Amino acid sequence: MILMKNKFFGDKFTLRIITVIIFILLALAGLGFSLYLFIIAKNMYMYIVATAFAILSVVSGFFNISASILYYKSYFYGTYLDRIKKTLKPMLSYPTVGVVVPVYNENPKTVNDTITNLKRLEYPKNKVHYYLLDDSTNESIRKEMVEIARKNSFKYIHRVDRKGYKAGALNNLAKIMKEEFIAIFDYDERLSNPKFLKDLLPYFQDPKLSYIQTEKTHRKANLFADSINIFDGFFFKFIEPARALNNTAIFAGSCGIIRLSSLRDIGYFPEYVIEDTFFSFKSDLCNYKSMYIPKVYAYGKPITKFTELMKQQWRYNYGDTQFLKYFFKNRKSAKGSPISSMDYITHGFGLNYISVILIMFTLVSIFIVFSAVPFVNLNLSQVLNPRYVGIDLEIFGSIALVLSFLAPVIMTKIYFNSIKKGFMVFALNFALAFSRTKAAIAAIMLKNPGMKWNRNNDTDKSKFVFSIMNTKTELAFATFIFILSFFAAKTNHISGGVWLMVYGFMYLFTTLFMYKYG
């Protein structure tokens, strides 16, 4: 929850200003260091390294400045939403709604808990109908789903194949259902506010409103799971409100309502692994409006396993990379403003920026530490001498690294009042970097989007072997960096050695998280 007041940082508007300053400092640190590299370059090798770092810094600066704009704009969304609320009229009649839960070989107990809670929705019984869309291939699970649907008066629909994934299941229903609206919940989302339909449907008095998305979050569990919640927290508390001001709020796949006529008008859900982003863009292309309500109506099951998080992030980045191709192919027909186009570009590149650029920065940092520039070599006593500070190239570069390290920590403290979770968020981005990058490559190469692990949970030895075998890429990369760090330190490049050592430790988090959290 965002704090209305913070004894260290002041009110909410001040927090936005502080956030903007942090992101601008990040952008300036990278660009300033790039300029410094060009100034001291003496040969073609160093000019190439300086150019590579400059390109990465420009990309990083673009995303940092874009993020600062989003954080700043999100402050004004509450006023915008209040103005809309004042125009709403009392509902004189209730439209029909289909409440839908798509499942695929999910835990029957969790599904039963979800749909039992959904029956608590406060809405006229003759105006709401419930659907369980089951794509399960496990026959025993499918039989349990049939019984769960029967007991809870859900209409059960089963598909023989999974064509189009979740989007295919939703499209299959949308083509035959009679209701005016479709409300979607994931299999693990436990309803917490039964006024979901009554609160949101009045906004659809605007005939051009295509969908409404509400804030998504997970139930609390432990430090790992709660830190993952911050991934979603930053998106739903700041990015979604700012995007909603541009009419580009992303439909997040569940905890939202869609007008069925608009869904049919745009040609149903595009059948990709992240159908929600594609649907949001198609809705915008067809000149429909969207809305975001920053309120939690249901809590999802917490993500307590690292492998579960990796699979989720793989799917997200695979889908986002697919979306970029889709966006650039269809952008010419877009009727939105350049700002809305920028929203979709930054969304599609978001995880790629965090992961691919992170790895590229690491590689370029290695070239910088071992560049051909005639450095002033510093031993430990010289490093501690104030008059040498600022002479060695690696010390300048460390400024950008330290800022990138501190930014998520500071922001997590400001907005979520936790330093530990801030460090965890920073570590998770390194731990997921290669998995996300592999997903992007798989999408470009049109490979299978799946990523599977089989975890034995019996002994520490099996956990250790499992973790090592499934993080070979990250371990090899970390080992390589540690070796380079040793050689840098051995040649009196103390700051360069420390710089690389920090990078090496960060990539070890993949193995550590997989061992500890499964």
DSSP assignment of 384-413: TSGGGTTTSHHHHHHHHHHHHHHHHHHHHH
Residue 262's Cβ-side half-sphere holds a number of Cα atoms within 13 Å equal to 25
Q: What is the pLDDT of residue 499?
A: 79
**Among all chains, which residue has been given the structure tokens 């070239």?**
367
Give CA–CA dist 479/471, Å, rounded. Answer: 12
Question: Is 119 or 491 the better-scoring residue by pLDDT?
Answer: 119
CB-neighbour burial class of residue 332 (10 A; exposed 0-12, middle 13-18, buried 19+): exposed
Q: Highest-confidence range of 151-165, 334-348, 402-416, by mean pLDDT?
A: 151-165
Q: What is the pLDDT of residue 454?
A: 47
The length of the chain is 518
| Token pair listed for 75 | 């402050």
Mean pLDDT of 399-405: 61
CA nearest 415: which of 255, 232, 249?
232
> Please, are residues 378 and 492 in contact by the beta-carbon 8 Å criterion?
yes
Mean pLDDT of 429-448: 87
Question: Is 337 or 94 the better-scoring residue by pLDDT?
Answer: 94
Return the percentage of the chain with pLDDT > 90, whole number. 40
3-state secondary structure of 470: coil
pLDDT over 50 (residue 121): yes
Q: What is the pLDDT of residue 11?
A: 65
Give CA–CA dist 156/150, Å, rounded. Answer: 8
b/e burial code for range 350-362 (CB count within 10 A of at least 16 → b): bbbbbbbbbbbbb
CB-neighbour burial class of residue 204 (10 A; exposed 0-12, middle 13-18, buried 19+): buried
Q: What is the pLDDT of residue 453?
A: 46
> Please, are residues 423 and 230 in contact by the beta-carbon 8 Å criterion?
no
Residue 430's Cβ-side half-sphere holds a number of Cα atoms within 13 Å equal to 26
CA nearest 252: which of 190, 310, 296?
296
CA nearest 117: which of 152, 147, 155, 166?
152
Q: What is the pLDDT of residue 195?
A: 96
Instruction: For the chain, give the mean pLDDT.
Output: 84
Give CA–CA dist 80/304, Å, rounded. Answer: 36
Q: What is the pLDDT of residue 447?
A: 77
How does pLDDT run across 245-294, given as a tens digit for each residue? 988 899 998 999 999 999 999 999 998 888 888 999 999 888 899 999 99
| Token pair listed for 401 | 């690294």
Return the percentage of the chain with pLDDT > 70, whole number. 87
| Token pair listed for 371 | 């560049």
Q: Highest-confidence range of 16-20, 230-234, 470-474, by mean pLDDT?
A: 470-474
CA nearest 79: which of 17, 7, 12, 10?
12
> Please, are residues 393 and 375 in contact by the beta-carbon 8 Å criterion?
yes
Mean pLDDT of 431-455: 77
Residue 3's pLDDT band, with cuts at 50, 70 and 90, is very low
Query: pTM of the full predicted structure?
Result: 0.85
pLDDT over 60 (residue 384): no
Residue 491 makes CB contacts below 8 A (sequence gap 6+) with 377
What domains, with CATH codes, occur in the chain? Answer: 5-74+351-517 (no CATH), 77-304 (3.90.550.10)
Give CA–CA dist 19/482, Å, rounded. Answer: 33
b/e burial code for range 427-445 (CB count within 10 A of at least 16 → b): bbbbbbbbbbbbbbebbee
Pairing of strands 155-158, 181-184: unpaired
Q: What is the pLDDT of residue 1?
A: 37
Question: Is 367 or 167 the better-scoring residue by pLDDT?
Answer: 167
Mean pLDDT of 131-144: 94
pLDDT over 60 (residue 104): yes
Mean pLDDT of 218-247: 89
> Please, are residues 300 and 185 in contact by the beta-carbon 8 Å criterion?
no
Give CA–CA dist 3/10, Å, rounded. Answer: 10
Mean pLDDT of 9-22: 72
Q: What is the pLDDT of residue 289?
A: 93
CA nearest 212: which of 290, 128, 298, 98?
290
| Token pair listed for 508 | 């070890």
b/e burial code for range 76-100 (CB count within 10 A of at least 16 → b): ebeeebeeeeeeeeeeeeeebbbbb
Residue 70's pLDDT band, with cuts at 50, 70 and 90, is confident
Residue 119's pLDDT band, with cuts at 50, 70 and 90, is very high
pLDDT over 90 (residue 419): no
> Please, are residues 407 and 484 in contact by the beta-carbon 8 Å criterion?
no
Neighbours of 502 (CB within 10 A): 16
Which contacts (CB < 8 Å, 24+ apart) does range 442-445 have?
A: 442/318, 443/317, 443/318, 443/319, 443/321, 443/322, 444/321
Region of residue 446 (left: phi > 0; alpha: psi -120 to 50; beta: else): left
pLDDT over 80 (residue 132): yes
pLDDT over 60 (residue 397): no
Q: What is the pLDDT of residue 8?
A: 41
